[in-house]
Structure 1
């Protein structure tokens, strides 16, 4: 219906329609608002040659006015990239941007925000002073999404990174008392990852001493994982924080170390060229003891056919220190052996 109403209308009539839609905004669902924003954007793109004519800019003195008159509250349901298409300055309309748009602005290279501590501080203060408490969460949803897309593993400007981490922890501190382990996991293992290079023991003061060991593990794991992507000269603060955490929460056991095996591609024929599994097959066919089967190395098992060994093999041994050998095939060139 709105698509029809906005087709072939003058810019002044379009602006009247937008003003009328403003009144209905509070009663609409999120999906409906997004749909209307799409229709309005379509009109503006088609009429881009008209909307900046003098007759269409009556009462428009700046970018904030342009947004209010041409998109109204539906501007929050567009992307920051959409606004840039109309030469809207995100910095100039900062107070009119949604949390998602603010995240895009911060990470947009053209704004230089990641090198501008003052601008980043202004963005975060606008989030924290909003009456909508969920704004910070919404900001980080887009922030995480874009940093992953752009392969950003760390905010390199120290002052900017410090400011972002400081203001975020300050906002979260009053809520830590009611945080569940999954909440600590979200913030320390997802949302704050590219900022953790600025973490140091002094920041642990905001963590309540009565958190559960599960929550402690979530924090510890997030800091520990961050060391994998941090250069040595930026790791000291995190390493000191981990030591301080362990001293503070001695009642909790240390989380198991995270071990990530590097995947190595191999040529199966070349790998197995020097191995003869005939003797192994003979031993297997006679159902020999685990002692004799343990004389064969992993490579000889790995180079045997999957059809011969099936998916797994359990061998019980009378030897007291080996009760079970389990061979699990990941593929024809890789065998995991676990001795229990």
Structure 2
């Protein structure tokens, strides 16, 4: 009668009742009956089924001592697996501790149940069932020395996959092979394969388990690759892992390749958020903050909150009000803020690009530096050489920030392996925005030209700039900024082979003499004489 019920029996006395039934029924089964899977099926898939979610440690331990055949053991395990969702975590762990592990570690000739499996996945499913996710990877290797975790990634839990990456486990390939194999597997279907949970356990384990610098470096390479390859919704989660793992890494470990041309702001959330109270803001964010109150809180408070519900319109509003203020937040703060809001950053930049005037404020330059780090620096070689991609970024998403571009941003950009078409797309956008550029000594767009264009050969220069570009430059450049251009031309003349100087000189004079006043021939001659 009980076995016909669809749901298990629930109550405080169920565990004791099963203990008693075990004493007066299960303990009286003969050796032959215990090794007969049909008899075991009748008892555990039938008569005792509704009691199993309440099995006590005593009942389970007694059961593990029986001389069960592998088939009988699998039959019992299968029924416990069927009841897995009906158990609380404590009961699930009791099954592992008092039944599965003791049985599989017994020394009798048949009870190891290792040789009866075709693969590591098959062994886990047959002999641990749904309880396999509760067993540590090191314990799995002790239960079966032939077990191959890399061959069983599809049935490992996120925590077990993190253990595979972090823990020093015997008989496995090098950590670089393990890390790349695990990330390859998880990246193919990050949501279904629970990449966020893996990253959470990776962070937790790295805090308590010393890991070498090379392991961190390999992990960071894969994290940055994942940010470019995975859905944008995953980006804030990956950035959070970058920040967390940075704090647990060895102090002298360089986690990203050092590029003196394109320095990267540090990832130190602890330092940014020290003494910051963002609790009131977090409450509002969790309950649905109204657009009218977005600007009531500082960027640092936002950077130290969870921003999963912040949308693109919210981010646009925040940038407009915070960038127009006398903002003194550091690059570290802006970077933490933007990485937490990175899922909607691109969409927000598109919205901002629709406004006619540039964004103006003391923090705009730093903000563009940070966007350069987390967006432009992650463009691939193919993307950098694709003028359509470059145009989308520089004539679109970044356009309103470009008048405040720093020398660092432009110099870093000049080191990229841009195609001539890509360079011209950037150059044209800088030229259009040139009149609005804040003058800070020599013109920053001129610096960009000098690094990337005027230092190359005359033929390359003409191919990149073109007649229209030269005319726009001459018409828009303010007079005080002529000197760096002339200096670059003279430098180029001095470095050019003698037979090439006449071509350059004639080209420059042909251009200037067509409209000497508008093209400022007197200034050119003055600077030529001075230089």
TM-score relative to the length of structure 1: 0.51
Counterpart of 1:75 in structure 2 is 132
| 1:175-186 alignment runs, 5 A limit | 175=234, 186=240
| Pair 126,158 (structure 1): closer, same or farther in 2 beyond 3 Å | same
Structure with larger Rg: 2
Shift in Å at residue 106 of structure 1?
1.4
Give the match for residue 515 of structure 2.
Answer: none
- The answer (yes or no) to whether the contact 1:155–1:161 under 8 Å persists in 2 is no
Task: Verify: 1:245 aligned to 2:370, yes or no.
Answer: yes
Partner of 1:198: 256
Cα deviations across residues 223-259 of structure 1 (Å, max 9, x unaligned)?
9xxxxxxxxxxxxxxxxx9982187899xxxxxxxxx
| SS of residue in 2 equivalent to 1:103 | helix
Distance 1:139 1:29 in 2: 23
Query: Which string of whole-angstrom CA distances, capped at 9 and with x for unpartnered residues, describes residues 102-128 of structure 1?
Result: 111112344344222xx4233124334
Find the counterpart in structure 2 of residue 17 from structure 1.
76
Give me the whole-angstrom Cα distance separating, in 2, the residues matched to 1:159 and 1:184.
15
Q: Is the 8 A contact 1:100 1:142 kept in 2?
A: yes
**Structure with more contact order per residue of length (Cα contacts < 8 Å, sep ≥ 6):** 1
Kept in 2, the 8 Å contact 1:185–1:219? The answer is: no
Residue aligning to 2:175: 114
Structure 1 residues 46-57: aligned runs within 5 Å: 46-51=105-110, 56=113
- Give the Cα separation in 2 of the matches to 1:243 and 1:153: 34
Are residues 202 and 9 of structure 1, via their aligned partners in 2, closer, same or farther at CA, if it must alter by over 3 Å? farther
* Alpha-carbon shift at residue 78 of structure 1 (Å): 0.7
Indicate conservation of the 8 Å contact 1:18/1:72, yes or no: yes
Shift of the 51–160 alpha-carbon distance from structure 1 to 2, 3 Å rule, reads: farther
Q: Larger deviation: 33-42 or 187-196?
A: 187-196
Instruction: Tell me the equivalent position of 2:38.
Output: none
Residue number in structure 2 paired with 1:173: 232
Say whether residues 1:101 and 2:155 are aligned partners: no
**Following the alignment from structure 2 to structure 1, what is the Cα–Cα distance between the partners of residues 338 and 174?**
26
Matched residues, number = 222
**Is the Cα–Cα contact under 8 Å of residues 188 and 219 in structure 1 kept in the other structure?**
no
Match of 2:87 in 1: 28
Whether contact under 8 Å (1:185, 1:218) holds in the other structure is no
Query: Is the 2:103–2:111 Cα contact (8 Å) retained in structure 1?
Result: no
Structure 1: where are the runs of 5+ without partners? 224-240, 251-340
1:91 aligns with 2:134: no
Does 2:185 correspond to 1:126? Answer: yes
Are the aligned partners of 1:103 and 1:139 in contact in 2 as well (CA < 8 Å)? yes
Say whether the 8 Å CA contact 1:18–1:70 is kept in structure 2: yes
Quote the Cα distance in structure 2 between the aligned partners of 1:89 and 1:114: 14
Contact 1:115 1:157 in 2 (8 A): no
Q: Whose helix fraction is larger, Structure 1's or Structure 2's?
A: 2
Does 1:146 find its partner at 2:205? yes
Greater fraction of residues in strand: 1
CA separation of 1:137/1:39 partners in 2, compared to 1, >3 Å: closer, same or farther? Answer: farther
- Provide closer, same or farther for how the CA distance between residues 185 and 198 of structure 1 changes in structure 2, counting only shifts above 3 A: closer
CA distance in 1, matches of 2:243, 2:140: 32
Residues 42, 221 of structure 1: CA spacing in aligned structure 2 closer, same or farther, 3 A cutoff?
same
Matched-pair contact (CA < 8 Å) for 1:184–1:218: no
**How does the TM-score come out when normalised to structure 2?**
0.34
CA RMSD after TM alignment: 4.5
